[in-house]
Amino acid sequence: MWKIVFKYPEGGTVKLTNSKQPMDERLARKYHKQYGVNSDGGTYQKYPKKKYRPIALATVVDILTAGGDLENEILIEQEN
């Protein structure tokens, strides 16, 4: 499951959550374009929070565009 939170200067907040579809480049670009322009840009959080750190949505777009592994980039503790 993941959540994206966008905060706007006027005080409004938009929260997007999804438990069925993994984050991919298409979704990241879509949400960044649709909600991120007039907001703080959005913060992406994968669950569980103890395992993954929050990250700016623009960084998620960059990682996925470059073909990187998003999960490994945001993982707090790597298991051996």
Residues with Cβ < 8 Å from 33, sequence gap 6 or more? none
Answer whether residue 65 is part of any domain.
Answer: yes
On the question of pLDDT at 79 being above 90, the answer is no
Count Cα atoms within 13 angstroms, Cβ side, for 19: 1
Answer whether residue 80 is part of any domain.
Answer: no
Domain that holds residue 36: 2-74
Answer whether residue 79 is part of any domain.
Answer: no
Residue 32: the pLDDT is 94
Answer whether residue 68 is part of any domain.
Answer: yes
Structural domains counted in the chain = 1
Answer whether residue 67 is part of any domain.
Answer: yes
Give residue-wise pLDDT tens across range 3-16. 999 999 999 999 99
Instruction: Give the pTM.
Output: 0.88
Task: Please give the DSSP secondary-structure letter assigned to residue 75.
Answer: B
